[in-house]
Structure 1
Amino acid sequence: MCLAVPSRIVEINDLLATVDVYGARKEISLLLLPEEAQIGDYVLVHAGFAIQKVDEVAANDALNLLKEIAETIGE
């Protein structure tokens, strides 16, 4: 099963971007993204590549769900 994590772009340098998820930052590739990304955009990240832009509401809904699942597993 594959999982793409919604992540907010905080820096862009050519086809590389730094994204933030709950304070964790990671460098990813924008090479596979079909549209131009901007700082502040949310993207789905899979295997180090942004694969799709998503709106902020959808991104936050997905992140909250992932957080709930992690908390439930941790109990």
Structure 2
Amino acid sequence: MCLGVPGQVTQVDGLTADVDFWGVEKEVRLDTVDEPVEPGDYILNHVGFAIRRIPESEIDETLTLYESMMGGGPDDMLREDLIDEVEAAGSTPSTSGAPPGDDEAEPADAEDAEDLLEELDIDV
């Protein structure tokens, strides 16, 4: 499933931003976002990349929707997908040869941004 999660930008430093996802602070790449962001803005994150700045007029509705999806029980697969997406923000699988599931991860970079754009079939 391809899933994005909204979060609030707390700090921007070049092509990276610190983003708060319901109290979980993660670093997110800004290479693929559709317009500039600044602290206080909300973005839609997908595997560590901001893919969209959420317009001010849509923030409350978007957060309400996601909060309702997060309210499911421990066996709710959508809730688990959302939690996995938040946990994945700001890192990509290691290319060090470590086995899958190993806690080792490396920060997302520009090459990862290009791969994501290609995967989503987005030309920039």
Q: TM-score range by the shorter chain?
A: 0.7 to 0.9
After superposition, give the CA deviation of every residue in 1:9-41 in whole Å (9 maximum; x if it has no partner).
000001100000121110010110111101111
Alignment length (residue pairs):
73
| CA-atom RMSD in angstroms | 1.7
Q: What is the percent sequence identity of the aligned residues?
A: 32
Q: Which ranges of structure 1 fall in alignment gaps of 5 or more residues?
A: none
Structure with higher RCO (Cα < 8 A, 6+ apart) = 1
Q: Which one has a larger percent helix, Structure 1 or Structure 2?
A: 2
Q: Which has the larger radius of gyration?
A: 2
Q: Which one has a larger percent strand, Structure 1 or Structure 2?
A: 1
Please state if 1:49 is matched with 2:49.
yes
Conservation of the 8 A alpha-carbon contact between 1:7 and 1:59: no
3-state SS of paired residue (2:68): helix
TM-score between both structures, scaled by the size of structure 1:
0.84
Q: Runs (4+) of structure 1 moved beyond 4 Å?
A: none
The match for 1:28 is: 28
In the alignment, the residues of structure 2 paired with residue 25 and residue 46 of structure 1 have an alpha-carbon distance, to the nearest angstrom, of: 15
Q: Which ranges of structure 2 fall in alignment gaps of 5 or more residues?
A: 76-124
